[in-house]
Amino acid sequence: MTSQTTLAEPGHQPDGPDRSDRTESQDGLQAGLKNRHLSMIAIGGVIGAGLFVGSGAGIAAAGPAILLSYALVGLMVVFVMRMLGEMAAARPASGSFSTYADQALGRWAGFSIGWLYWFFWVVVLAVEATAGAKILEGWVPGVPQWGWALIVMLVLTATNLVSVGSYGEFEFWFAGIKVVAIGAFVIVGLLAVFGVLPGSDHAGSGLAHLTDTGGFFPEGPGAILTGVLMVVFSFMGSEIVTLAAGESQNPQRAVQKATNSVIWRIAVFYLGSIFVVLTLLPWNDPSIVEKGSYVAALDVIGIPHAGQVMDVIVLTAVLSCLNSGLYTASRMAFSLGGRGDAPKAFARTNKRGVPQAAILSSVVFGFVAVFFNYQWPDTVFAFLLNSSGAVALFVWLVICFTQLRMRGIILRESPEKLVVRMWLFPYLTWATIAMISFVLVYMLTDDAGREQVLLSLLVAVLVVAVSLVREARKRRSATPAGTAGS
């Protein structure tokens, strides 16, 4: 065998000198991501396909008040990212929050949240592959939908297997298209809102549509919370940059930039674009749900072939999510392997610094999930989908509790590395914990949300139980040896 293999070192990455001049990270991964890759991953990480295809349902449920739903969830994500940035800037690691939970809360926490996060992303692989296949089948009906799903998965698997740099390059362009598209949409939309867009037949409604159809709260103030449940999962992915930072030339700088820019990213891409939709046409316009909020807005402006244009953008978002999902799942598996919480083969890298076994194992599960989606969409795949539905909130909750403990650990061991600090610690951390817990409890009052929370909780309990049994067995096996030695 010609490729060299490197086994990731268990536990957290050692502190040590700044690695800005390295070509290989201390856990065997290559530092192949450039600053422009990290910048675009950070920007594009908060723009999922859910923003394009799911926002219409949120608008229909809450009306203009959906803006407050996006603002509340956005605030929650800003706080979580600030906490995660504090830990990641001090200790860049391929396992990110799973590694920090391992150190701060115990092996059971790192094991559990790592596997739950891996599970979430491999299910996402199946969802996004199917969504992309539907669009591609519409363009080229000669290839069956399952064939397109297979092609998309194979292409992106090959991309991730080549090198981390190729993943970064693909994501740079995928995310770039999303960013340019939303930026252009916001600018063009605002010009149309105020009636100054050249060549548009839109009269320019100003801000009237925010209140002219039942007021700002047409479904009542309680609809804000309903909207929160509908939009919260479209924010998942903002934490990817902290995993990718471990494979960059200067992880600390990358994390700092990503953490500091998360506020304007959410403000522009989420609040800005939804604000444009709500000011271009009434919130209860049937086309928002039928065509999708962005296509409906483009049609009102008079943009020709709006549906086809949005299909291209949505496909780009889907491919970006697939690309990042595969990368994220494989790096989490790699980190788990390095800590002894997954097969050791997952922690080996080839001569290009790629964790080949971790990537292939994640892809295999993704392929199996795609098969389930076509074979048993309403039973097996529905269970996979719902049982991973609340994992995003579990991850954010664990990040909060981890940061409460990690602040003290960092201050004791390497206070000079605390270059990013959570604001108003620990009060805002506890406030964020309360916000996330409230959302989880409120989901239990919603029919769709209740199933997601309960099934996700069931899977989480099973994973935690496995971790506790593993730890108990390790202690029992170690006790006789210790007794004999003494």
pLDDT per position as a tens digit, 421-476: 999 999 999 999 999 999 999 888 887 788 888 999 999 999 999 999 988 888 88
Q: In the structure, what pLDDT confidence band is assigned to residue 48 with cuts at 50, 70 and 90?
A: low
Peptide bond into 426 cis (omega under 30): yes
Q: What are the start-end ranges of the E strands in 161-308?
A: none
Query: 24 has which bridge partners?
Result: 30
Q: Among 24-38, 63-77, 98-112, 225-239, whose mean pLDDT is lowest?
A: 24-38
Compute the distance between CA of residue 453 and CA of residue 152 in angstroms, rounded to an integer.
31
Element (H, E) at 348: strand 348-349
Report the pLDDT value the prediction gives residue 33, as an integer from 0 to 100. 79
Compute the distance between CA of residue 339 and CA of residue 358 in angstroms, rounded to an integer.
14
267 Cβ contact list (under 8 Å, min separation 6): 74
Report the pLDDT value the prediction gives residue 352, as an integer from 0 to 100. 81
Under a CB-based contact definition with an 8 Å cutoff, are residues 29 and 160 in contact? no
Report the pLDDT value the prediction gives residue 272, as an integer from 0 to 100. 92
Report the pLDDT value the prediction gives residue 49, as an integer from 0 to 100. 67
pTM of the model: 0.86
Report the pLDDT value the prediction gives residue 481, as an integer from 0 to 100. 52
CA nearest neighbour of 250 among 92, 100, 422: 92
Distance from first CA to last CA of the chain, Å, rounded? 44
Mean pLDDT (the chain, rounded): 84
Other Cβ atoms closer than 10 A to 445: 11
Q: For the range 314-318, what are the long-range contacts, defined as Cβ-Cβ under 8 Å and sequence gap of 24 or more?
A: 314/49, 314/52, 314/53, 314/131, 314/135, 315/132, 315/135, 315/136, 316/174, 316/177, 316/178, 316/181, 317/47, 317/48, 317/49, 317/51, 317/52, 317/174, 317/178, 318/49, 318/128, 318/131, 318/132, 318/135
142 Cβ contact list (under 8 Å, min separation 6): none
